[in-house]
Amino acid sequence: MQLDLKTIEALAPDQASLGAAAKLTKRSNWPRLEAHEQLPLIWGECQGSGSNPYRVAFDTSDHGYKCTCPSRKFPCKHILALAWIGATAADSFARVDQTPDWVNDWLGRRRKPGQSPTPVAASSEGKSIDEASRPAESAPVEDAAAAERREAAQRKRAEDTRSAVSAALDELDQWIADQLRLGLAGFVDASSERCRRIAARLVDLKATALAGRIDELPARLMALRGEERPDAAIRELGKLVLLAKAWRTAPDDAELKRLVSTSETRDQILANPDAVQVESDWEVLGEKIETRRDGLVSHATWLLDLKSPTPRFAVLLDFFPASAGRRSGAFAPGDRFKARLVFYPSRHPLRALVAEWLGDVAPGSWPSFAPDAAGDPLAAYAAFQDGAPWLSDCPIILPAGAIAQDEKDGTWWQAVNDPHGIALPVAGSVDPTLLGLDLTATAALWNGARLELLASQSNMGRLDLS
Amino acid sequence: MNELDQPGLARLRDGWISGGAAFELAPVEWKEAAAASSPDEQERRLLAIAAQALDVALRPAAPKTLKRRPPLPVLALPMLPERLRPPLRAALKYAADARLKTRVATLVASRGFVTHPMDWMPAASDQAAPEVYAPWVDWQAGADGEKHSRREHLTAETWDDFYPAARRIALVDLRRAVPALARTLIETKGARESAEVRLALIELMRFGLGADDVPFLQSLSSDRSGKVREMAGRLLARLGERSYPTDGGTEDPTGELAALIEEGKSGFLRRRTTYAPIKLKSPAQQARRADLFASCYFGDLVARFGKTEPDFIGAWQFGVDDNADRFLVLMVSVSGSDAAVACLADMLVAEGGKLTLLVLQLMLRLDSGRKRLLIRQILNDAQNLHALSLVEGAEAGWLQWGDLANGKTLSALRSAVSGDNDVMKRSAEQYLEAIGFLATAATAEKLIGDVAAAGLPPASPSLSLLRLNAALAGNTTK
């Protein structure tokens, strides 16, 4: 590797980036570090603040780089940390003769700057790798009075937030009553404007998460056929009523706080002794990437626990600004890996973080999950709604079935030999090939109105459907 | 949900849609559960109950007319192993259009595999897809599933058991093996088909075309479809049967065309006859000449000069008028005999340079050996490498390293990928894709190493097809 610390110092956009990179050079932050045997390439996966690890690649010959984090600093701290490890602890990298697909993708798309590395000599001013390496000065010891003041301030902030959120929910209640009074027909037609107005109020009153949910409500309505929208509006608004009531009953409940105001940080979740931890083999079922009206992109990666006797799912949820451009995820549908996940505390734990990545797992079929006693494919959804009726998307495993078409070219999942005669409408359009395949099992998200397909096992192997 | 609640829910729903208080419309049990001091609160509570009822107790009613497609047929070759699907998808992603994607599938089929249907499916109209995909072509075309696509024993009795694409392939096989039997089938079964289907069936007569076919083809001169009559006439012309493609009018288009060709002499010692297009004076004349070349038959034309088809080709002065050269080659392709096509192709390939490209017009009539010769010639002089992807119907996976290294292609590729000229680089990437189809696995692997050493990033998408080819090493059906 042709790397030295001077180069890294010169590449860094500022001293703060170097300082942040220094903290990431601990081996424990990097579940994967690899270097190509012949090519001047190093890459790795760094566990950042998102739920997915960031994928970082660095070309040691021309100092080209790529990181999947949403940082607007170029290069980001992950790149600098990777290069730093490359310069100081080259033995940390496993030598391999194949580049992973995501590195190939990057290599294929990038344009090399020329034959010589990026000139770096003049750009080290104001940055010092020595300074960044120095351990942070220990914080001054806080006296008891100061600690008391700080805690009191925290309590006051929490109380203020609670009061603001309570006021926000009062406004939301009134707004819902107004919509009923004015008529849902008008609400459906003007949902975009009306939702935006109340969402803005909720943001002012610190109910940020709830505001985001309401902002997305019009899009969910418009995804349905006209005749379905009033029912969908009843469902969505009814869930908001339930959520508001639940929060008032238990304003300190972690799940409800997350759904109404703000979410915990990654560190808080990892430090939470009540957070469920599951070490298992996981398969990436699929991804759901949505650009929201508030300018954020939500990137959900759905996972299936391959060792659980009953279907257990996890979702790795990340948000980043749409202005940061298209961002590749850490995992591709169909990937399998062993990992320890930590779930955000919840009635039905779904949202999780990868606490520890423990290696790849060989491809294979899904386990045969025991069917529900009554043979009802939506039994899991009913149980889900019993525990948390304010939630919408519920992951389910459907039994053997097929995709059928109605006369309007809408598509439906239909069970094979189903005593209940159940058919579920599928969201969006599907690949017409799917209409000819026998699906032995299907993983999907059901929201009470539409089925969003994630993946299937079929007579022709695994199908990526997300 | 209690069945009695459903009408109550419907009333509530209707009330809320139009607006106003709906509490009084709710079922009694719901009203009890939702009772509150404030009317707004009552409405909200009812809304929450109704939302849960809609979510859990009611399910979407499936239309009774839901239709399932028949199962996608299992093909005769195994599906590509899972580990090879990522390079396949990369190659398909890089292939710019449907034709190039079909070429990827052809390479895969030549190594004994078919693609996963979610990775690639032939279109319903795809006639260039490898034969093994015929059941999928029929499935795409909407075959109803009550029949089975099968290729064995196409007879008059089993005719209707075959879907169109499968039948087409069975007929081609039969024409190659027992042409008379296939002809009889086309004759007996084709008569009741539409003109479009009849035309497609007659077109298949080109496989295994022989003198025995003459009476049947002549009988088509009274077919009600002009296109069928024209096709039959061309096939007869290929067999040396002279005819005049006009409908018995007084014009003599072949004579008119012959008048646009000048007979001359060349050579000092051994004077030999030459034929060259006369110089035309106006665009109208050029258009007329183009029409005549397109509508007359080659056999009729050479008969006017009292020559055999190969002799006439040997005497044609290529290079005098590029358009006339192109029209003549097209004419031979459409109505020349097999001997004329072979003679013309050999001559043009031997000439090299831009004349070689005229052979591309003959592709449908060339055997695989001549196609390989053409490709080798293109690679040898490396002047027209873009033509590699225009060679239709070329076989996959036969090109040896020597075919590249002995000519100028390899050095041209190295120079393009190592240089700074983006246009040349992009062109080289297209050539690499074309070679990715033609090369053996060993050649593909060696070429990847070679161009990577010359400066092309090893992970460049333009190497996708070469990588797939190399990964398919050890699987060759041909």
pLDDT tens track for A303-321: 999 999 889 999 999 888 7
If asked whether residues A123 and A11 sit together in one domain, one would say: yes
What pLDDT score was predicted for residue A407? 85
Question: Is residue A208 domain-shared with residue A303, that is, in the same domain?
Answer: no
Q: CA dihedral defined by B109, B114, B117, B121, rounded to 10 degrees?
A: 20
Structural contact between residues A361 and A306, judged by C-beta atoms closer than 8 angstroms = yes
Chain A touched by B116 (CB under 8 Å): yes
Alpha helices in A250-333 (DSSP H): 254-260, 266-271
Taking alpha carbons only, the member of A287, A303, A372 closest to residue A337 is A303
Considering only the beta carbons, identify the residue of A230, A412, A461 that sits closest to B116.
A461
In this structure, the answer to whether residues A11 and A102 fall within a common structural domain is yes
With an 8 Å Cβ cutoff, is B461 touching chain A?
yes
Query: Hey, is A417 helix, strand or coil?
Result: coil
Q: Would the CB atoms of A242 and B48 count as touching at under 8 Å?
A: yes
pLDDT at B457: 80
Q: What is the pLDDT of residues A78-126, one digit of tens each?
A: 999 999 999 888 888 988 877 887 887 787 776 665 544 454 444 667 7
Is the Cβ–Cβ distance between A11 and A120 less than 8 Å?
A: yes
**How many CB atoms within 10 Å of residue B112?**
16
Q: Which of residues 185-214 of A touch B (CB under 8 A)?
A: 185-186
Contact A51, A355 (CB under 8 A): no
What pLDDT does residue B146 have?
A: 47
Q: Closest Cα of chain B to A128: distance in Å?
A: 34
Residues in chain A: 466
What are the pLDDT digits (tens) for B153-209?
788 888 888 888 888 888 888 888 888 999 999 998 888 888 988 999 999 998 888
Residue B460's pLDDT is 84
Size of interface A-B (CB pairs under 8 A): 160
CB–CB contact B51 A239 (8 Å): yes
Question: Taking residues B39-47, what's their average pLDDT?
Answer: 93
Compute the distance between CA of residue A270 and CA of residue A274 in angstroms, rounded to an integer: 10
Give the whole-angstrom CA distance, residue A312 versus residue A304: 6
Q: By the CB < 8 Å criterion, does A378 face chain B?
A: yes
Tell me the pLDDT tens digit for each residue of B367-400: 889 999 999 989 988 888 888 888 888 899 999 9
Question: Is residue A28 included in any domain, yes or no?
Answer: yes
Report which residue type is found at A431. Answer: D
pLDDT band per the 50, 70, 90 thresholds, residue B133 = very high
Strand bridging mode A313-321 / A351-360 = parallel
DSSP A225-251: -GGGHHHHHHHHHHHHHHHHHHHHH-T
The better pLDDT of the pair B31, A326 is held by: B31
Average pLDDT of chain B is 87
Cβ distance B85 to A442 under 8 Å? no
Please report whether residue A143 resides in a domain: no
Which of residues A229, A260, A291 is at a domain's end?
Answer: A260
Residues A14 and A124 in one domain: yes
Checking if the pLDDT of B478 tops 50, the result is no
CATH number at A351 reads 2.40.50
CB contact under 8 A, B13 and A234: yes
| Nearest beta carbon to residue A422 from set B41, B48, B59 | B59
Q: Give B281's contacts (C-beta < 8 A, 6+ positions apart).
A: none
Residue B17 vs residues A228, A229, A444, B44: alpha-carbon distances, Å:
12, 10, 31, 14
- Among A422, A370, A383, residue whose Cα is nearest residue A401: A422
Do A100 and A122 belong to one domain? Answer: yes
User: Which member of B44, B67, B72 has the closest CB to residue A436?
Assistant: B72
Q: Is the dihedral of CA B36, B38, B39, B41 positive or negative?
A: negative
B-chain residues near A462 (CB < 8 A): 82
Q: Could A181 and B21 be called an inter-chain contact, meaning their C-beta atoms sit closer than 8 Å?
A: yes
SS3 A350: coil
β-strand partners of A284 = A303
Mutation test of the interface with chain A: which of B72, B432, B456, choosing the one with the most A Cβ atoms within 10 A?
Answer: B72
Residues of B in Cβ contact (< 8 Å) with A177: 40, 43-44
Residue A309 is given by DSSP the state S
DSSP element (H, E) containing A455: strand A451-458
Answer yes or no: is A425 within a domain.
Answer: yes
Within 8 A of B60 by CB-CB distance, chain A residues are: 423-425, 449
Q: Let me know if residue A339 belongs to a domain.
A: yes
If you average pLDDT over residues B100-118, what whole number do you get?
A: 95
Token pair for B22? 């709906």
DSSP 8-class letter at A53: P
Q: Are residues A291 and A354 in the same domain?
A: yes
Provide mean pLDDT across the span B308-314: 93
Which distant-in-sequence residues (6+ apart) come within 8 Å of B421 by Cβ? none
Helix H, strand E, coil C: the string for chain B is: CCCCHHHHHHHHHHHHHHCCCCHHHCCHHHHHHHCCCCHHHHHHHHHHHHHHHHHHHCCCCCCCCCECCCCCCCCCCCECCHHHHHHHHHHHHHCCCHHHHHHHHHHHHHCCCECCCCCCCCCCCCCCCCHHHHHHHHHHCCCCCCCCCCCCCCCCCCHHHCCHHHHHHHHHHHHHHCHHHHHHHHHHHHCCCCHHHHHHHHHHHHCCCCHHHHHHHHHHHHCCCHHHHHHHHHHHHHCCCCCCCCCCCCCCHHHHHHCCEEEEEECCCCCEEEEEECCCCCHHHHHHHHHHHHHCCHHHHHHHCCCCHHHHHHHECCCCCHHHHHHHHHHHHHHCCHHHHHHHHHHHHHHCCHHHHHHHHHHHHCCHHHHHHHHHHHHHHCCCHHHHHHCCCCCCCCECHHHHHCCCHHHHHHHHHHCCCHHHHHHHHHHHHHHHHHECHHHHHHHHHHHHHHCCCCCCHHHHHHHHHHHCCCCCCC
User: Which chain B residue has its CA at the smallest distance from A183's CA?
Assistant: B19
Greatest mean pLDDT among A348-357, B54-63, B134-143, B151-160 lies in A348-357
Residues A196 and A235 in one domain: yes
**Distance in angstroms (rounded) separating the CA atoms of residues B142 and B136:** 10
Domain count, chain A: 4
Cβ neighbors of B449 (< 8 A, separation 6 or more) are: none
3-state DSSP assignment of residue A426: strand
Judge whether A100 is closer than 8 Å to chain B, CB to CB: no
Do A124 and A9 share a structural domain?
yes
- Of residues B367, B376, B377, the one with CA closest to residue B438: B376
Q: Is B424 exposed, middle or buried (0-12, 13-18, 19+ CB in 10 A)?
A: middle
* A379 vs B: CB within 8 A: no
Q: Does any domain span residue A177? A: yes
- Inform me whether the C-beta atom of residue A405 falls under 8 Å from chain B C-beta atoms: yes
- The whole-angstrom distance between B60's CA and the closest CA on chain A is 7
Q: Of the candidates B19, B55, B82, which has its C-beta nearest A183's C-beta?
A: B19
B393 Cβ neighbours under 8 A, 6+ residues apart: B363, B364, B366, B371
Q: Determine contact, residues B199/B225, Cβ cutoff 8 Å.
A: yes
Report chain B residues whose CB lies below 8 A from the CB of A36: none
A459 to chain B nearest CA, in Å?
10
One domain for residues A104 and A170: no
Task: Closest CB to A437: pick one of B47, B56, B72.
Answer: B72
Q: For residue A212, give Cα distances in angstroms to A49, A207, A209.
A: 21, 9, 5
Burial of B145 (0-12, 13-18, 19+ CB in 10 A): middle
Residue closest to A237 by CA, chosen among B16, B34, B18, B25:
B16
Of A234, A260, A286, which marks where a domain is finished? A260
Burial of B45 (C-beta count, 10 Å sphere; 0-12/13-18/19+): buried
Q: What is the CA radius of gyration of chain A?
A: 25
- B350 half-sphere exposure, CB direction, 13 A CA radius: 8
Domain end point (choices A260, A293, A328): A260
Burial pattern B403-418, b for ≥16 Cβ within 10 A else e, equals bbeebebbebbbebbe
Instruction: Let me know if residue A75 belongs to a domain.
Output: yes
In a domain, A158, yes or no: yes
CA-to-CA distance for A424 and A463, rounded, in angstroms? 19
Opening angle at CA B158, ends B231 and B177, nearest 5: 55
CA distance to A11, A13, A14, A127, A427, per residue, from A124 (Å): 8, 9, 9, 6, 53
**Which neighbouring-strand residues pair with B266?**
B272
Which site among A105, A170, A171, A180 would you substitute to test the B interface, given the most B Cβ atoms closer than 10 Å to its Cβ?
Answer: A180
Residue numbers of the domain that contains A174: 151-260
Q: Which residue of B has its CA nearest to A381?
A: B56
Q: How many residues does chain B have?
A: 478
**Residue A10: enclosing H or E segment and its boundaries?**
helix A5-11
Residues A126 and A9 in one domain: yes
C-alpha B441/C-alpha B436 separation (Å) is 9
Q: Looking at the domain assignment, is residue A48 inside a domain? A: yes
As a dihedral over the C-alpha atoms of residue B360, residue B362, residue B366, residue B372, rounded to 10 degrees, the angle is: -10
Report d(CA A8, CA B89) in Å as an integer. Answer: 37
A228 phi, psi to nearest 5 deg: -90, -15
Same domain for A125 and A82: yes
Asked if B19 lies within 8 A of A378 by C-beta distance, the reply is: no
Tell me, what DSSP letter sits at residue A302? E
Q: What is the residue-level pLDDT of chain A in tens, covering all 466 positions?
A: 567 888 888 888 888 888 889 889 888 888 889 998 878 889 998 887 777 788 899 988 888 888 888 788 889 999 999 999 998 888 889 888 778 878 877 877 766 655 444 544 446 677 777 777 776 555 566 778 888 888 898 889 989 999 999 999 999 999 999 999 999 999 999 999 999 999 999 999 999 999 999 999 999 999 898 989 999 999 999 999 999 999 999 999 999 999 999 888 888 999 999 899 999 999 999 999 888 887 888 889 999 999 998 899 999 998 887 776 666 667 888 889 999 999 999 999 999 998 888 888 988 889 988 666 567 788 889 889 999 999 999 999 998 999 999 888 889 999 887 666 778 999 988 998 999 999 999 999 999 889 999 999 998 888 999 8
Handedness of CA B162, B166, B168, B169 (dihedral sign): negative
CA-to-CA distance for A400 and A377, rounded, in angstroms? Answer: 10
Residues A76 and A164 in one domain: no
In this structure, what is the dihedral angle of CA atoms A265, A271, A274, A278, given to the nearest 10 degrees?
90
Between the alpha carbon of residue A100 and those of residues A42, A57, A358, the distances in Å are 11, 10, 17
| Structure token digits, residue A367 | 């386990």
pLDDT of residue B23: 87
